[in-house]
Structure 1
Amino acid sequence: MARITKYVPIISSTLAGQTLLDRLLPDYSIERPVECTFLYQGCNDTYAVRTANGPSYVLRVYRHGWRTFPDISYEIDALLHLVRKGVSVSRPIPATDGRIIRELPTLEGNRYAVLFTYAAGQELSFKNHEPRHLGRALGTLHHSMDDFYSPHRRAMIDWDHLIDIPLKRLEPLFTHRRKDWMYVRRLSERLRHEIDGLVLRDQGFCHGDVHEWNVHISNSKAITFFDFDLCGIGWRAYDLATLRWSARWAARETKVWGTFLKGYRERRALPPADLRAVPLFIGIRHVWLMGHHAGETQYRGQAIFRDLHIDRHLTFLRGCEKDYLRRRTGARR
């Protein structure tokens, strides 16, 4: 029997918060950090940084291979542009040598790290007028990014990102459910065809993941955006759809969407074709999410994509088809 005499390769490590506290955080001109707590693991690892007497911070350690240096540089450029425009975001903090993106040697390869200010406030509950405040803030964000430019390359939020790559990831997980696989593929193409038939006028920088877990609201109703990891150039209607998708998934679409849209239109016009595309993008967003989860199985295990989860995803997609696609088809007859 062969013996393992060298380290077994790994695909993802979790860095010790104490090591980051001792070796990385002293390189920043902030109040003395006293605690670095592992907070959350998604595509990246997030740590909460507490200082002795000052503000808190968030340290993001990007997963090896998830983002390139130019990818992250683009994200940083976007955040600094928004800061200059007066939009409230979780701001990147440079180290004492001026570098914002730090490179850390780990067992699987080098990983990048960025320290951010903590977003003031708390998660949205969507009570009272909170969706309207969020709509206004997103309208302001889109307007502020109309003149944004970065010399760094970043993947577009296009059909390759939203449909083609997700479907390639999904197909191997549907080998035992070919009928359901054909349904997902056909529905994706129908939604793409419907949107391609619209002339969408508003394209530009998108946050890419607008929902209640990526924004905070203060007591004065000020909105602060964070987690721009999925940002890029795309259809602004898709950015709006990510919020509406989240509200539908939480069974509060009716309560949230109208108020949110009213707030958005107070800050930015939304062309009729773009508005018609928003509900279609909800299904597209969900196909993307399914593909994203399929890609995550190598990190989190096949258990995140069991038949129970597939059933729930299909129920959501069929609801979108019924509410948004069949109504449109019937309206054209």
Structure 2
Amino acid sequence: MLCAPSSPDNPLVGAVVSHSVLHPDFIAAEVARRYDLPAPVDAFLLYRGMNDVYLIKDGSGTQFALRSWRKTWRDVDSVGYELSFLDFLREKGFPASVAVPQKDGCLWFKTAAPEGDRALALYDWAPGCKFGDCLSEDTAHRIGALFAEMHLLGSQWIGADHKYTTDQAKEYSVWMPALIDFVYDRPDDLRDYPIIAERMAERFDKLAAEGMPMGVCHRDFHPSNVHVNEDGLITLLDFDALGEDFLMQDVKNYTWGNLFYGFSPAYSEAFEAGYASVRPFTAAEIENQELFLMAKAFRLVSGMADSSRSVGRGTLRFRGLDWLGDYIKTRAQALELL
């Protein structure tokens, strides 16, 4: 017999699902039902990854982006933090891709999926192209200035009495078991990464106690998460990692992304100069630049290891582990973290 039938000794067992894909027809029907858009509404899956993103077109030809959060990335109720902040930015006239209200005024909804409830939200379509496809030092300077303005607005939104913690800055500690499994056949990584994680956490707590500036941060800003149109209009997007962190970490995330893409350092230098023109860096932030650059690389590899159960190991497993490991460890040694 080529297949085993169900029996008391061989029952059919429901599969455990880590990440399902919602059909575009379902997405289109939900958008048409929930949002005040002219018919017909069409949906196309753009990409499946950390979260799933769909292109939505209504009957007038207007485009939107719909995000379906991966169950293991964002709890269905925690997305309210991001969408509330984006709505505040909209009220302040800040150029960010923000959520479109539904007919009932809600900024997001949720749906049942095999792995559990998932959150979904419709966003304005960011005009233009990724900054990485239209590089300009002048534009990089303006992006940096806007990014600093976003940080200042974040302080307004969350309130002067808010007490920041380093929990999200040290999120890589939660991902360490997955990282250890990810690099199972790399003995040097198995030895070094836990040491780096522990010492970096201690360093972050020390910096926070000493008053290193913290705030509401994008936490994944890089040249692909900002669009520029033909008229030079800048739009920041993809805030799905939003949280509280060191402000300098947010800045260096962009600088590191510029390096990772292989762009000229001139663009990251212009970005940082633009940022400092609005919110000057403190002496402590300047002194710890290398720490935050190294931390970005460490967060990336540990975060991808944790996400590999849903998106697969190919993203970094077969591309960049040697480069990332050398980048992290060289700087960790210089910073006396290894």
TM-score by length of 1: 0.87
Q: Aligned in 2, Cα 1:192/1:19: closer, same or farther, shift over 3 Å?
A: closer
CA contact (8 A) 2:128 2:227 kept: yes
User: Which residue, 151, 155, 159 being the options, matches 1:142?
Assistant: 151
Cα distance in 2, alignment partners of residues 159 and 23 from structure 1: 33
Q: Aligned in 2, Cα 1:200/1:122: closer, same or farther, shift over 3 Å?
A: farther
CA displacement 1:35-56 (0-9 Å, x = unmatched): 2110011221100001222421
Q: Aligned in 2, Cα 1:57/1:166: closer, same or farther, shift over 3 Å?
A: same
What is the RMSD of the two structures over their aligned residues, measured on CA atoms? 2.8
- TM superposition shift of 1:196: 5.4
Q: Identify, as 1 or 2, the structure richer in helix.
A: 1
* Alignment-derived partner of residue 254 in structure 1: 265
Q: Aligned in 2, Cα 1:145/1:302: closer, same or farther, shift over 3 Å?
A: closer
Cα distance in 1, alignment partners of residues 169 and 177 from structure 2: 10
* Alignment-derived partner of residue 235 in structure 2: 224
3-state SS of 1:69 partner: coil
Q: Which segments of 5 or more consecutive residues in structure 2 lack a partner in the other structure?
A: none
**Bigger shift: residues 182-191 or 56-65:** 182-191
The reply on whether 1:289 has 2:300 as its aligned counterpart is: yes
Cα distance in 1, alignment partners of residues 297 and 129 from structure 2: 26
- TM superposition shift of 1:296: 1.7
3-state SS of 1:146 partner: helix
3-state SS of 1:58 partner: strand
CA contact (8 A) 1:297 1:305 kept: no
* Alignment-derived partner of residue 98 in structure 2: 91
3-state SS of 2:151 partner: helix
* Alignment-derived partner of residue 27 in structure 2: 20
How many residues matched?
A: 324
3-state SS of 2:302 partner: helix
Q: What is the percent sequence identity of the aligned residues?
A: 22
Cα distance in 2, alignment partners of residues 311 and 244 from structure 1: 20
User: Which residue, 212, 215, 221 being the options, matches 1:210?
Assistant: 221
Letter in 1 for 2:50: C
Cα distance in 1, alignment partners of residues 24 and 38 from structure 2: 17
User: Which residue, 236, 246, 252 being the options, matches 1:241?
Assistant: 252
**Bigger shift: residues 236-245 or 213-222:** 213-222
User: Which residue, 169, 185, 192 being the options, matches 2:178?
Assistant: 169
**Bigger shift: residues 213-222 or 132-141:** 213-222
* Alignment-derived partner of residue 74 in structure 2: 67
Cα distance in 2, alignment partners of residues 122 and 274 from structure 1: 31
Q: Aligned in 2, Cα 1:159/1:116: closer, same or farther, shift over 3 Å?
A: closer
CA contact (8 A) 1:163 1:284 kept: no
User: Which residue, 51, 56, 72 being the options, matches 1:49?
Assistant: 56
CA contact (8 A) 2:55 2:63 kept: yes
Letter in 1 for 2:104: D
